[in-house]
Amino acid sequence: MSAAKGATAPVITGGTPPGVPVHVGIIMDGNRRWARGRGLPSALGHKAGADAVRRTVEAAAQAGIGWLTLFAFSSENWQRSDDEVRDLTGLLRFYLRHEIAALHRNNVRLRVIGERERFGRETTAAIRDAEALTTNNTGLNLTVALSYGSRTEIAGAARALAREVAAGRLHPDELDEALLERNLSTVGMPDPDLIIRTSGEQRLSNFLLWQAAYAEFWFTDVLWPDFGAAELAAGMAAFARRDRRYGAG
């Protein structure tokens, strides 16, 4: 994952319309509460959440958003019950098999960040094939964070740079923010302009901690399975009203 010394990783933003966030990150929360509120098993809440992913990806593309990052499975989610983890990973494999063709037809490029190997050989191969199929697509850049934790990501970048220093290829005085960024899993992606969290919770939960330094936040009480184009539009409208000064005043 280490970038070569002095290398520059291009950040492509595309032709995003004025007032529209280039990059939106979404912490998808509330699947289990949605299911419990209807007397349903958690698995059906996660399935409804997958339907919300489809709606939101379509709405983001139609709105002209260039980059959409979805927090689908955190590194902490492995602590959930074996049954729920099995349901989630099974749904992931189903999504990769049955939705990737539609993403490809709609010119969406899929990338996955996080510890994908933890999902096993079959799922890892499906992820790799999906990324390869869509790699030349030029529409919406869809990134899915799976078994992802930002602290682990940052620690990994620090280890990569430490190895460069230990090998004598990098002097400690040369370490800076740009070098660290080039060793993150989001290298080449613009930082998120807007981060949305559903279900009324108001925290990052270890999502894009470094990248969200100047992101705007929008929180909604809507549970993720009920999220769609209207809620995304509301978040974008709130973003458009913000005065982004980046610490300048």
Asked if 110 and 76 count as a contact pair (C-beta separation under 8 A), the reply is no
- Look-up: residue for tokens 């539609």? 102
Q: Is the pLDDT of residue 84 over 90?
A: no
pTM of the model: 0.89
Query: Would you say residue 72 lies in a domain?
Result: yes
Q: Is the pLDDT of residue 168 over 60?
A: yes
One-letter amino acid of 139:
G
What is the domain range of residue 43?
A: 23-222+230-240
Query: Would you say residue 245 lies in a domain?
Result: no
Query: Would you say residue 191 lies in a domain?
Result: yes
Provide the annotated binding site for Mg(2+): 29, 216
73-82 pLDDT, tens digit each: 888 888 888 8
Is residue 29 part of the annotated active site? The answer reads: yes
Q: Is the pLDDT of residue 12 over 60?
A: no
Query: Would you say residue 2 lies in a domain?
Result: no
Q: Is the pLDDT of residue 248 over 80?
A: no
Please count the structural domains in the chain.
1
- As a whole number, the mean pLDDT across the chain is 90
119-156 pLDDT, tens digit each: 889 899 999 999 999 999 999 999 999 999 999 999 99
User: What is the pLDDT averaged over residues 20-44?
Assistant: 95
Please report the pLDDT score of residue 249 as a whole number.
63
Query: Would you say residue 76 lies in a domain?
Result: yes
Query: Would you say residue 1 lies in a domain?
Result: no
**Cβ–Cβ contacts within 10 Å for residue 12, how many?**
12
State the angle between helix axes of 42-63 and 82-105 in degrees (0 to 180), rounded to the nearest 10: 30
User: What is the pLDDT averaged over residues 103-109?
Assistant: 96
Query: Would you say residue 18 lies in a domain?
Result: no
Asked if 95 and 50 count as a contact pair (C-beta separation under 8 A), the reply is yes
Please report the pLDDT score of residue 15 as a whole number.
61
Report the CATH number that the domain containing residue 198 is assigned in CATH.
3.40.1180.10
Q: Is the pLDDT of residue 9 over 50?
A: no
Query: What burial class does residue 145 get, using C-beta atoms within 10 Å of its C-beta: 0-12 exposed, 13-18 middle, 19+ buried?
Result: buried
